[in-house]
Amino acid sequence: MSTLLEPSLAFVFELRVEVDGERHIGRGASEALGFTPITGGTVSGPRLNGRVLPGGGDWWVARGDVTQLDARYLVEADDGAVIDVVNRGYYVAADELERRLAAGEPVTEEELYYRTAPVFQTDAPAHRWLAERQFIGMARPEPGFVCIRIFELR
């Protein structure tokens, strides 16, 4: 019988995505639909450096303590290659945690479940590895930014 591989993660870069104020779109009594514009940002890490281009956004649906995220934006690598990013995930925060965040108190990644599963597309040979691997993101809010540490699943 063969041994099953245990998954491991390798840090590849951090996205610091600059966001504008969220726009409430609405829906019903039990959920809210909104949009958060992406206005820029940076990419830095051992495997990729560059910038987040303005013009993308995050469409989200909040149901109770859980918000389902669906972000789409572009990254321009330092060499000029453009990379399409589709980043879906979940943000889970009870009312007390939301109050702490609103008050500017620090919140750890353990307390706030803010996880994503980004998918990248590009035809740039130097960055093709992004379109051939699975990644996960560990996110945290900072004033005016969403910061996402991206890990390759090995």
pLDDT in tens, 87-111: 999 999 988 988 998 888 888 888 8
Domain spans in the chain, listed from the N-terminal domain onward: 9-153
154 vs 150: CA distance, rounded Å: 13
* Per-residue DSSP letter, 3: P
Given the candidates 3.40.309.10, 3.30.420.40, 2.40.40.20, 2.40.160.20, the CATH classification of the domain at 9-153 is 2.40.160.20
The per-residue pLDDT for range 39-97, each reduced to its tens digit, is 999 999 999 999 999 999 999 999 989 999 999 999 999 999 999 999 999 999 988 98
pTM over 0.85: yes
CA distances from 44 to 16, 33, 82, 139 (A): 8, 31, 15, 15
